[in-house]
Protein backbone atom coordinates (compact mmCIF):
# COMPACT_ATOMS: atom_id res chain seq x y z
CA UNK A 1 0.00 0.00 0.00
CA UNK A 2 1.31 3.45 -0.92
CA UNK A 3 1.08 6.34 1.50
CA UNK A 4 0.95 10.07 0.77
CA UNK A 5 2.17 13.07 2.70
CA UNK A 6 0.16 16.23 2.11
CA UNK A 7 -0.04 19.88 3.09
CA UNK A 8 -3.37 21.65 3.03
CA UNK A 9 -4.24 25.30 3.54
CA UNK A 10 -7.06 25.85 5.99
CA UNK A 11 -9.36 28.81 6.49
CA UNK A 12 -7.29 31.72 7.73
CA UNK A 13 -4.21 30.57 5.80
CA UNK A 14 -3.06 28.01 8.36
CA UNK A 15 -1.15 24.99 7.05
CA UNK A 16 -1.76 21.40 8.11
CA UNK A 17 0.48 18.44 7.26
CA UNK A 18 -0.73 14.85 7.36
CA UNK A 19 -0.46 11.37 5.85
CA UNK A 20 -3.01 9.07 4.23
CA UNK A 21 -3.30 6.05 1.99
CA UNK A 22 -6.20 7.64 0.05
CA UNK A 23 -5.55 11.32 -0.65
CA UNK A 24 -8.89 12.15 -2.29
CA UNK A 25 -10.89 10.54 0.51
CA UNK A 26 -8.80 12.33 3.15
CA UNK A 27 -9.27 15.78 1.60
CA UNK A 28 -13.03 15.15 1.36
CA UNK A 29 -13.02 14.12 5.03
CA UNK A 30 -11.25 17.33 6.03
CA UNK A 31 -13.74 19.41 4.04
CA UNK A 32 -16.73 17.61 5.56
CA UNK A 33 -15.47 18.26 9.10
CA UNK A 34 -14.49 14.64 9.74
CA UNK A 35 -10.76 14.88 8.95
CA UNK A 36 -9.26 15.87 12.30
CA UNK A 37 -9.80 18.24 15.19
CA UNK A 38 -7.41 20.86 13.73
CA UNK A 39 -9.32 21.24 10.45
CA UNK A 40 -12.86 20.70 11.75
CA UNK A 41 -13.50 24.41 12.30
CA UNK A 42 -11.00 25.68 9.73
CA UNK A 43 -12.82 24.68 6.57
CA UNK A 44 -12.68 24.72 3.63
CA UNK A 45 -9.25 23.23 3.06
CA UNK A 46 -7.29 23.18 -0.18
CA UNK A 47 -4.60 20.68 -1.11
CA UNK A 48 -1.35 22.56 -1.79
CA UNK A 49 1.30 19.83 -1.79
CA UNK A 50 1.68 16.08 -1.77
CA UNK A 51 4.36 13.41 -2.00
CA UNK A 52 3.53 9.77 -2.64
CA UNK A 53 4.99 6.28 -2.81
CA UNK A 54 5.89 5.83 0.85
CA UNK A 55 5.42 2.95 3.22
CA UNK A 56 3.46 3.98 6.32
CA UNK A 57 6.63 4.24 8.41
CA UNK A 58 8.38 6.23 5.68
CA UNK A 59 5.40 8.57 5.43
CA UNK A 60 5.41 9.11 9.19
CA UNK A 61 9.12 9.99 9.11
CA UNK A 62 8.68 12.41 6.20
CA UNK A 63 5.62 13.98 7.87
CA UNK A 64 7.70 14.62 11.00
CA UNK A 65 10.44 16.24 8.87
CA UNK A 66 7.94 18.55 7.20
CA UNK A 67 6.21 19.43 10.47
CA UNK A 68 9.57 20.55 11.89
CA UNK A 69 10.01 23.06 9.04
CA UNK A 70 9.28 26.74 9.56
CA UNK A 71 6.23 28.08 7.72
CA UNK A 72 8.36 29.84 5.10
CA UNK A 73 10.24 26.61 4.38
CA UNK A 74 6.93 24.77 3.91
CA UNK A 75 5.77 27.50 1.53
CA UNK A 76 9.05 27.12 -0.37
CA UNK A 77 8.44 23.37 -0.68
CA UNK A 78 4.95 24.07 -2.04
CA UNK A 79 6.31 26.67 -4.45
CA UNK A 80 8.89 24.19 -5.80
CA UNK A 81 6.14 21.67 -6.55
CA UNK A 82 4.05 24.27 -8.37
CA UNK A 83 7.06 25.23 -10.50
CA UNK A 84 7.58 21.55 -11.32
CA UNK A 85 3.99 21.19 -12.54
CA UNK A 86 4.32 24.12 -14.95
CA UNK A 87 6.90 22.34 -17.11
**Taking Cα atoms as reference points, which of 9, 12, 6, 10 lies closest to residue 26?**
6
Residue 3 and residue 54 in contact, taking contact as beta carbons nearer than 8 Å: yes
Q: Chain-wide mean pLDDT for the chain?
A: 94
Residue 74 and residue 16 in contact, taking contact as beta carbons nearer than 8 Å: no
pLDDT at position 84 over 70: no
- pLDDT band, residue 81 (cuts 50/70/90): confident
Homologous superfamily of domain range 3-85: GIY-YIG endonuclease (3.40.1440.10)
Q: What is the pLDDT of residues 25-61, one digit of tens each?
A: 999 999 999 999 999 999 999 999 999 999 999 999 9
pLDDT at position 75 over 50: yes
Domain ranges of the chain: 3-85
Amino acid sequence: MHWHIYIIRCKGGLLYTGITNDLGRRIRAHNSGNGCKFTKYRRPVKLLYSESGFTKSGALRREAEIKRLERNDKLGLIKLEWKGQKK
